Structure 1
Amino acid sequence: MDLESFLEDISPKIVNRGINYFENGAVENLVKISESEWRADVIGSEDYRVEITIDDGEIIDWYCTCPYDWGPVCKHVVAVLYEIEKAMNGNEINVHGKKSKKQKKAEKSQLEQFEEILKKVSKKDLAVFLKEFALDNEKFFSEFFIHFSDLIKTNKKENYKTWIKEIARSFSGRYGFIEYNESFPLFRQVDSLLRKAEKYFDENNTAEAIRICQAVIEEVPVIVQKMDDSAGFSSATMDWAFSLIHKNLSKIPPSEKDALLDYCLKEFFKSKYTGFGWENDFLSLMPHLISNLEQEKAFFKALDLAQRKAGKGDSWSSTYKIVRLKRAKLDYFLITKRKEEATKFAEENIEHDEFRKFLIDEAIEKREFDRAKKLIHGGIDEAQKNNYPGLVQDYKSRLLEIARLEKNKDEVRKYAEELFYSSYFNFKFYDILKKTYSKDEWEDVVEDIIDEIKSRGRSGGSIGILAQVFIKEKYQDRLLKLLQEHSDDLHIVENYATHLKKAYPKELLKIYENAVRVYAQNTGRNFYEEIARVLKNMLKIEGGEKVVRKLVAEFKEKYPRRRAMMEILNKYFK
């Protein structure tokens, strides 16, 4: 496992905290649960569960139940990775890069020992243990019950709902609230029910599968009212429940589809689904369940009633709801291949951009470009009147699309250049613009672009944009000069230094030297960790070792009273 490479781009602060956890023995219960999956608990002020997937020596996935969301990897994952490396190599790990030469004979993993016990224990003793353990452990009881529920003939949605309630209760605290770190294991158990539904669909037992999906759909919105689900597991579970039904519509018999439509028409109006957008899942599903005129009328009646409840569209939220409801009707026309009715309906609601865009797409598909342009210009006028610059840009990107289809070089240039500047320098439009010029023509055009970027000043982020232009055009000498001019800004140097390592190692080290010196004027452990990270990067540049040694010695002499800086420099640069 190439742990060092994986951690290279992780904040040194996080890496060091993870190392401290590892060295202090905070990682417990490390288990290899499959050929590629590992699981462990990290003990601290709060206990967290970490799961990591390593395939062929590559770390490909990880999850921690902690709430950390400031970066891709938390300190708990780092700690477990070091513990895994220790287990995989069968030796003690020196976290500063050196492994002991003495290899230990690998012991059996906990999983292997567990499997050995299972083979030897009697069925009677195992049954007694499981019963006693389940009665004392509500979470295990729920998981066990759901896993083996196939052995019980239920055929009742209420039974599934009761199980889900019991799952939620087993993860609830003293006052009935479910904390953040319990959200993952809770929904993992609920998801195990959906895996059963998936299995039932595969076996064409659609009635039982639908019952499970409905139970999940009805209970999750209730559970989420009393929990911290900032990680969004409830939405993932709800998405899965609805997508299972969508995916298996062709297997569902007509009578069950009719019952499912009636269910959706009733459930759709319940307030527990609003606020999360789950009412939209019903809107997406219902058009696929309609099979006759009576059902169509009931669907349209429900949409009209929902629109009246949404109000007259004075607020943004009510307008959004009305548009979503109207979109469901449009989708129904499209699903039933009634294109003329769809077009007419869109024209009747052209004041909403979603329907205007539908008509634009339709016109472009039919290559009715004049009609499409007229619709677009109308949209631009409305967007400008309402001060929606982002929407103006969307419409102009459609004009660019049409110009490219018509192979109108002048129009392509006009809109690509305009969009490049108005989109805060989206280089997608830069590339489109460049393709319309010959190599010789482009040399003059790109200079005009560079001048325009410079005229926008530093506050507009022109340094980074200029750097990107120089990189695209392979103007390495100009990129070097740009970094030299801004060698007092370590972040700018770091962002673009990689493009100069081979061509200008000596000059780049000089830039780095100045940038690090300026940055070292800051105080605080975070700044010192960043300095150490940059110095380590400098070691990878030809001639970097000499410059790094010089800077480390200089900082030790200049800042001897900065204990944290001395500690960090001594740790990484002995």
Structure 2
Amino acid sequence: MNLTHFENRISEVILKRAHRYFLEGRVTDVREITGGEFEVVVEGTTDYEVSLVVEANGDILYSECSCPYDMGPVCKHEAAAYYEIRKILQERRLSNSVPSAELTKILEAMPRKELISLLLEQAQKDQLLREKLIGHGKPAGDGSYISGVERAIEKIEDNYSDRYGFIGYAETMDYADDMEELLDKRSDVEDPVLKAEVAWRILRKAVGALKYADDSGGSFELLIDSAIETIRQAAEEAAKEEREAGEKLLERIVVWSADKVFDEWKYISHNLLFAALELADVPDFRKRLMEWIMELFRKADEYDRRDLLDIQMELIVRGGSEEELNRFLDEYVQYSNVREEAIRRAANAGAFKEAIELARQGEEQDSEDAGLMKKWRAMRFNLHKETGQKREAEKLAWMLLVDGELNYYGELRELSADSGQLYETAKQKLKDAGTWRAERVFLSLIDQENDLPEMMARSWAKPSSITSYGKRLAGEYPEEVAEIYETYIMDTAKRSSNRGQYRELCNILKAGIGTIGKVQVESLIVRLEADYRRRPAMLDELERLKREIHS
């Protein structure tokens, strides 16, 4: 690729974005380390570093960017750097003149009307220049300012969506980056209501786009979080101003939270309402928000009610009485988040008996929910331990250990009267449990204790375990390890039927060199070649492995 015509080797989409970055001055720093070796900083969502090496004839020998883009050979930051380096090198070749200084003199000498006419003419041809000129001044009123934001959002959507309106995985990060940059620039206003209006436009589009975009990388979620945080900041600012600003913003947030765009994403609507808590210090604002939350609560399902209860709880904490909070906790204690808060408050007040009873009742109520059962037992364990009830704490620690929580083994060491037998007892309890959670803890425990006999027993029972334990077992049980490794290799070969699986087989063989030695691995390869001589793809992969071993 050459700087003179690199455009021919890069996709049109990447070039379009890169050229805009170049024209907007996003290439903020260029350092030439040695002749032809450059380090460039390009401003995106954050600053990205581009390193490149260019030969005297313009050939790009090396190029790399610190951004996470991995959907093609060149990202928009690299291409923007190419434009900038090309400009710099072209200017060097014109070293006998000073074009920028001469141009400045020409422009300064031009009549104002003629200069405006020239800029207007050029702006009609160049959309990026037109937007840059518009961006230098704020529109006269809020309406036109918001209209400008909406036009910018539409332009970003047009840039990244296909003809069916879908935004593919390769485009989502750049779409979100550009929307985030728009949010940063256009929300930088003094009026908190206007700031929130800008963020709302972007939030609504981002949530709506979740229906027709591949956001498996999570870029939209980050954009949504940023927009809500901007609205929260606006609410915080409005709370410090005259009442009118806070009143306006609260009503807007209430209306926004009911938008149909949230029908499938209620939790985002709830996060938006959390942002309004910044306005809750004013009593009638708090009352208005509480009324709205209660209205939503009556219509919500059980899952969404938990979020709404969190907001109600926070509203009461911020402006309600202790009596009001206690009534609230009693009324809604059947909800796990409210019960958790009730337990925490009782414990902080020294009412440990009450806190323990609340946790025990939680276990009874949520006996069909493994996650909540574990939570209530963990809370009860901490309460019993804190109050010196070792026997009860030890019972709970055993339950939690068997339920998959290895950290309670350390707790049992402190609590157990017979710590010498603790390890053997723990192993037996975990084996007897017969659940996958207990098995996971068992394997972690024998690994932690470096229990070689148990590792060997596990490897006999499940030969694939030899890849985890082989190196530690080889010194003590070399023959057994070799036998298990051979069994594992042959079983894996028998189950393999395509090139991908043959490559995985070869990876296991290669890893085995450090466990059973090169000679035995080579012997296994010879045996595989004989047993599977009619599988050319496997033989091909084995041949590659042999060359790699001997290289």
* TM value normalised by structure 2: 0.73
Matched length = 465
Equivalent positions of 1:254-403 (< 5 A) are 254-255=241-242, 256-276=245-265, 277-310=267-300, 318-336=301-319, 338-384=321-367, 387-403=368-384
Structure 2 gaps, min length 5:
1-8, 19-38, 43-47, 53-62, 104-118
The aligned amino acid for 1:152 is G
Aligned to 2:491: 518
Instruction: Give secondary structure in 2 for the equivalent of 1:190.
Output: helix
Which residue of the other structure, out of 238, 241, 253, is the alignment partner of 2:227?
A: 241
Query: What is the distance in 2 between the residues matched to 1:38 and 1:498?
Result: 42
Instruction: Give secondary structure in 2 for the equivalent of 1:521.
Output: helix
Aligned to 1:62: 68
Structure 1 residue 149, shift from structure 2 partner: 5.7
Greater relative contact order: 1 or 2 (C-alpha under 8 angstroms, separation 6 or more)?
1
- Aligned residues with identical type, % of pairs: 18
Aligned to 1:165: 154
Query: What is the distance in 2 between the residues matched to 1:27 and 1:523?
Result: 40
Instruction: Give secondary structure in 1 for the equivalent of 2:68.
Output: strand
The aligned amino acid for 1:486 is A
Aligned to 2:455: 479
Post-superposition CA distance 1:157-205 (Å, at most 9, x none): 232122112211232322333333332222221111123257x27xx67
CA contact (8 A) 2:374 2:400 kept: yes
Post-superposition CA distance 1:440-480 (Å, at most 9, x none): x33323222322333345x7577655432222222223323
CA contact (8 A) 1:147 1:192 kept: no
The aligned amino acid for 2:392 is E
CA contact (8 A) 1:196 1:209 kept: no
Query: What is the distance in 2 between the residues matched to 1:146 and 1:290?
Result: 39
Structure 1 residue 246, shift from structure 2 partner: 2.9
Structure 1 residue 399, shift from structure 2 partner: 0.8
Equivalent positions of 1:87-486 (< 5 A) are 110=82, 113-117=85-89, 119=91, 141=128, 150-154=135-139, 155=142, 156-196=145-185, 200=188, 206=192, 209-247=195-233, 250-252=236-238, 253-255=240-242, 256-276=245-265, 277-310=267-300, 318-336=301-319, 338-384=321-367, 387-421=368-402, 423=403, 425-437=404-416, 441-456=418-433, 460=436, 465-483=441-459, 485-486=460-461
CA contact (8 A) 2:333 2:339 kept: yes
Query: What is the distance in 2 between the residues matched to 1:500 and 1:145?
Result: 71
* TM value normalised by structure 1: 0.70
CA contact (8 A) 1:146 1:192 kept: no
CA contact (8 A) 1:264 1:282 kept: yes
The structure-2 alpha-carbon separation of the partners of 1:349 and 1:214, relative to structure 1 and needing over 3 Å to count, comes to same
Post-superposition CA distance 1:193-220 (Å, at most 9, x none): 123257x27xx67565434212212333
Post-superposition CA distance 1:397-426 (Å, at most 9, x none): 1111112212322122100001222x2x32
Query: What is the distance in 1 between the residues matched to 2:148 and 2:461?
Result: 67
Instruction: Give secondary structure in 2 for the equivalent of 1:420.
Output: helix
The structure that has the greater radius of gyration is: 2
Query: What is the distance in 2 between the residues matched to 1:133 and 1:509?
Result: 74
Structure 1 residue 499, shift from structure 2 partner: 4.5
Query: What is the distance in 2 between the residues matched to 1:118 and 1:148?
Result: 26
Structure 2 residue 515 is matched with structure 1 residue 565:
no
Structure 1 gaps, min length 5:
1-25, 41-50, 55-60, 66-75, 82-86, 88-108, 136-140, 311-317
Post-superposition CA distance 1:300-324 (Å, at most 9, x none): 22223323443xxxxxxx1223343
Structure 1 residue 340, shift from structure 2 partner: 3.8
Out of 284-293 and 228-237, give the one that drifted further: 228-237
